[in-house]
Chains A and B, each alone.
Chain A
Amino acid sequence: MKITVAGEKKEVENGLTVAKLIEQENVETPQYVTVSINEEFIESGTFDTHVLNEGDEVEFLYFMGGGR
Chain B
Amino acid sequence: MRITLKKEDFNKIYEHALNCRPEEACGLIAGEDLEDGTREIKKVYILTNIDHTNEHFSIDPREQLKAIKDMRTNGLKPLGNWHSHPETPSRPSEEDKKLANDSKASYLILSLMEENSPVLNAFHIETVDDVKSVRKEDLNII
Give A residues with C-beta under 8 Å from B.
Answer: 7, 28-29, 32, 34, 36, 39, 41, 59, 61-68
Contacts and interface: CB of A to CB of B under 8 A. Distances in A.
A68 B85 CA distance: 6
Nearest to A34: B61
A68 to B, nearest CB: 5
Nearest to A57: B69
- Between A36, A39, A41, A66, the greatest number of chain B beta carbons within 10 A of the residue's beta carbon is seen for A66
Contacts of B57: 65-67
Interface stretch (B5-13, B32-40, B48-56): B48-56
Interface of B: 24, 26, 28, 51, 54-59, 61-62, 64-65, 68-69, 72, 81, 83, 85-88, 92-96, 99-103
Contacts of A32: 101
| Leading 10 A-B pairs by shortest Cβ distance | A67-B95, A66-B96, A65-B58, A64-B59, A32-B101, A67-B56, A7-B72, A68-B88, A65-B99, A29-B101
A56 to B, nearest CB: 15
A36 B61 CA distance: 10
Given A32-B101, A61-B61, A62-B101, A68 B24 contact: yes
